[in-house]
Amino acid sequence: MYRQLYDWFRRAIIDGQMRPGQRVPSTRGLAAELKVSRIPILNAYEHSGAFRMSLPALEHFPIGVWAKLVARHARRPPKGIMAYGDAMGYLPFREAIAEYLGAVRGVRCQSSQILVTTGSQQALQLSAQVLLDPKDRVWLEEPGYPGARQAFMTAGAQLIPVPVDHDGMNIKEIIRRGSDVRAVYVTPSHQYPMGLTMSATRRMLLLNWAARSGTWIIEDDYDSEYRFGSRPIASLQGLDTDARVIYVGTFSKVMFPALRLGYMVLPKDLVSAFSAAREAADIFSSTLYQAVLTDFIREGHFARHIRRMRMLYMERRRSLVNAIQIQMGDTLEVIGAEAGMHLVALLPPGTDDVAVSMKAVQMGISAMPLSTCYLEPPKRCGMILGYGGANPRQIHDGIRKLRMSVRGH
Ligand SMILES: Cc1ncc(COP(=O)(O)O)c(C=O)c1O
């Protein structure tokens, strides 16, 4: 029965009857409507979606604690959470973020430098708007994060890909090409998508060069909370002595993406320009959720949740690497540090990873092709596999389907 339900949903997705983000009926509602037990429905819902990028283990989120904190704030005298707020964000929240970043990421800042955003995508968008003029040159990692590309393109910037190798973005290449550049976008803690960490030498080269040339560095630290083998690597921002780094972070991975809360740490000189841009864009982020998250952090739930998820994702990564070795060890090569919520599995050169991804979707799994992260013709092909939101059973089943998508059996 679960198979029939699963096939029905899969068909509806392929035929376009169901759109991305569209709500499916609740398991209870559907069970009542079909007059069946909830078990096959739960199984069918659990069955699809292995390897979706950027999806945390939502079923492990402490929703009870969260709901209590939401209720607590919703009952408070309304002025604080219902009236207009500050474009930079709710002050107690910015103070909690500044403390957290100082303690955990080695970021050096005051709360006055924190701008709360609607996720890090808005931070990239605001950076593009404030820092770039049309035709300005921006260096991006190649392969790199398509969301950053989109944000910088809207400002009419010239995007210049810089190759990444095992030490991260090739800074010597930037210095060699030398020409006048307005900004550099990097993911030094865990390069997106390849999962490598920028070496200490490269970090210093990049910072020195940015100070000499007056270039802005946009540091996207999107999933640095999750490192499994080694100690966390401190941020570039903490090493910057010339106020060139704009640091971007998000709660999408450590909390949940629909919260739409992120932040930037701005050099002091940029605060008023960014604050004005935020005011013009959408004024400020919802105060209720900023206040709730402040308590979630202050009362220790945040640190506890991250600790638990770190263990869980470490296990999920291990399951994925095992499943790949057992089922596809001769076809896929896993690369990247033991960190984050995704890994890249390279396919043999010449494989059409977009075609593999399309076949995989038809089998109910979502695996993003690596080639879509290249601005220029792709040098490597492979799959970007998110493991945060998939349990070991889904992971093993997903790799079996991926094998069928690659080999046809
Ligand atoms: C490298 C990177 N930066 C930023 C984001 C954006 O996250 P959000 O806008 O949800 O904060 C993502 C999401 O997957 C990401 O992978």
Q: What is the pLDDT of residue 330?
A: 95
Distance from Cα 222 to the centre of ligand 1, integer Å? 6
- How far is 193 from 144, CA to CA, in rounded Å? 6
Average pLDDT over residues 262-290: 97
> Is the predicted pLDDT of residue 19 greater than 90, yes or no?
no
pLDDT in tens, 68-86: 999 999 988 778 889 999 9
Q: How far apart are CA 368 and CA 364, in angstroms?
A: 13
Which of the listed residues 252, 344, 372 should we mutate to test ligand 1's pocket, taking the one with most ligand atoms within 8 A of CB?
252
Q: Tell me the pLDDT band of 20, cut-offs 50, 70 and 90.
A: low
Q: Kindly report the length of the chain.
A: 409
Cβ neighbours for 216, distance < 8 A, ≥ 6 positions apart: 127, 131, 182, 183, 184, 210, 244, 245, 246
pLDDT band of residue 46 (cuts 50, 70, 90) is: low
Cβ count near 287 (within 10 Å): 20
Residue in the structure block whose two tokens are 């078990």 = 39
- Quote the mean pLDDT of the chain: 93
* Cis peptide bond upstream of 232, omega within 30: no
Distance (Å, rounded) from C-alpha 139 to C-alpha 177? Answer: 11
Q: What is the arithmetic mean of pLDDT over 163-175?
A: 92
> What does the block give as tokens for 117?
């955003």
Q: How far is the CA of 19 from the centre of ligand 1 (A)?
A: 21
Ligand 1 site, CB within 6 A: 54, 119-121, 145, 147, 187, 192, 220, 222, 250, 252, 257, 262
- Closest ligand 1 atom to Cα of 124: 4
- The amino acid at residue 389 is G
Residue 246, classed as helix, strand or coil, is: strand
Tell which residue, 224, 236, 237, 239, has the closest CA to residue 268: 237
The three-class DSSP label of residue 391 is coil
